[in-house]
Structure 1
């Protein structure tokens, strides 16, 4: 663990100059700006909050698992109260869909100590009631996780940008270990589940999902969940007919934000939602 913490800290120190090259957030308020990102949408959670999600097929939305849990009680939210607003901006969406089924990673646990294990399993798939078949909304493909130092980007909603998403076209992978990507991408409340993209071959492909905002060696960073095997596990659950809502009892204990450090070496200063 010590070696891992050291490697992350060195990545941040060595990457300080690179951080200055990160692109600033650009609001996607107009149709021209948002045209390539219509498959990213706001997930309205039970009428009391929101996350970010992205279509990876006409009827599947990729997001963070913790978006499906109540903060106060730790109970699983009835996903039938969740609505996906594709391309939401300035009070309108390109498509509106409710969620029919939802699965979270089988090893994800909402309670317990904040750790890299919790982050790397913080992934969920939502099956919509009806596929979105719209020529302006093209689902994204996924790609293998990028190497350390690679340029990535993120499209997300947030506390101060709830009515239109924002694009950060250039941020960087500072480190990757144990299924967790540490990036310099800017995130805030509402950014949970936001897709992190690579732009290989000039096409945006999802390589990670935002799990949390964190602080590492005095720098704000974002922690992302790797895809690959975790995503395949979720697809398998849906194919097996799982994902129907079942009430779960409240958890016995919850972590207070800022109490712990994961093996990523990052201090979890607050959740993204």
Structure 2
């Protein structure tokens, strides 16, 4: 992952004008018409005040970031009963409300440790809802293969300062791919963890990654996404085999935010934050 950081610093220095100007602005989805087709993205309420973003990949399955399933202060896993999925949450109402029966994180994900940047590679979790969501307006998303460098992607996310309606960034770019992670020009903030990264195929969005962290490289904001291919296959196997249930009880008191390093990024360096 040190190679990833170095590559980001050099590559973004060379391409900084493109990174600064190319992504489209965030657009808040305020109305039913604006939100149509995105109802499968929802807000995750976690414990006493935690906030993340999740997206449906099945009638009873939600994809999000693994670190959302941990209490930032204690490091304890959050019990499934303390998690609620609000599909299409907008202006005080959701298209569907569901609890969580099971939650699995990737077995190679470590919430604490020295190599914090490397955690991005396995920062993936799947939640099994207590009841399926079967509504014509709320559709799960397909999964697509990892996009190439330079590909155009989009993100739908909630955040701490826009927690009441989702925001859509229709176009940002894959700046680099390395070691199971994607470096993106997409705009994210605290609460955006777990947000789906999309490509559009034949007019339909498909998920290619999940937001894990945001970073500053030479004062250029970027985001880091987890590649889905192998980590998601591992999680689906765990669900099928009944593995991975979160057992320890600790409520999360606030949205998960974790420093990936401290201090300003120096030449060739990066500062990482969990959104």
The aligned residue for residue 204 of structure 1 is 205
Equivalent position of 1:252 in the other structure: none
**1:226 partnered with 2:230:** no
CA distance in 1, matches of 2:2, 2:161: 37
Q: TM-score, normalised by structure 1?
A: 0.91
| Distance across 2 between alignment mates of 1:191 and 1:69 | 15
Q: Kindly state the Cα deviation for residue 77 of structure 1 after the two structures are TM-superposed.
A: 0.8
Give the unaligned 5+ runs of structure 1.
250-254
1:18 aligns with 2:21: no
Give, in angstroms, the shift of residue 49 of structure 1. Answer: 1.5
* Structure-2 separation of matches of 1:111 and 1:271: 13
d(CA) in 2 for partners of 1:192, 1:112: 19
Deviation at 1:228, TM superposition (A): 0.5
For the 8 Å contact 1:109–1:118, the answer to whether it is kept is yes
The alignment's TM-score, normalised by the length of structure 2, stands at 0.90
Shift of 1:238: 0.4
Could you tell me how far apart the structure 2 residues matched to 1:85 and 1:212 are?
A: 22
The count of corresponding residues between Structure 1 and Structure 2 is 264
Residue 3 of structure 1: how far off its partner (Å): 5.4
Distance in 1 (alpha carbons) for counterparts of 2:169 and 2:236: 29
Matches within 5 A, 1:95-110: 95-110=96-111
Q: 2:11 aligned with 1:8, yes or no?
A: no
Task: Tell me how far apart the structure 2 counterparts of residues 66 and 149 of structure 1 sit (CA, whole Å).
Answer: 27
Tell me: CA distance 1:4–1:77, structure 2 relative to 1, closer, same or farther (3 Å). Answer: closer
Structure 2 gaps of 5+ residues are 251-257
Which residue of 2 is the match for residue 131 of structure 1? Answer: 132
Deviations 1:3-33 (A, max 9, x none): 5444322331343333312100000010000
Alignment CA distance shift 1:2-1:56 (3 Å): closer
CA distance 1:3–1:71, shift in 2 (3 Å): closer
Q: CA deviation at 1:256?
A: 5.2
